[in-house]
Amino acid sequence: MSILVTGGAGYIGSHMVYELADAGERVVVLDNLSTGFDWAVGKDVPLTIGDTGDQNLVGKTIREYKIATTKTTPPTPGR
């Protein structure tokens, strides 16, 4: 089972992803890259580029990576 981190390519989210991965968790990132960067996600962490409002994409990601729980990071203020 994996943890889905939405907004995981941003400043706060990427740090959360690194901490979870360092703790031995399997992590998957969903981010639309509006304020995040693909290079901020670790090379061993799958990145799905898209919006959390895209129900089909979110459902596909949950099934594909067998997501057990999610962590949501706040959007960048003023963006």
| Close Cβ partners of 38 (under 8 Å, ≥ 6 residues apart) | 9, 47, 49
Banded model confidence at residue 32, pLDDT cuts 50, 70, 90: very high
Banded model confidence at residue 79, pLDDT cuts 50, 70, 90: low
Mean pLDDT of the chain: 94
User: Residue 28 and residue 6: Cα distance in Å, rounded?
Assistant: 9
Q: Which is more confidently placed, 48 or 76?
A: 48
Tens-place pLDDT, residues 49-69: 999 999 999 999 999 999 999
- State the pTM of this model: 0.91
Banded model confidence at residue 6, pLDDT cuts 50, 70, 90: very high
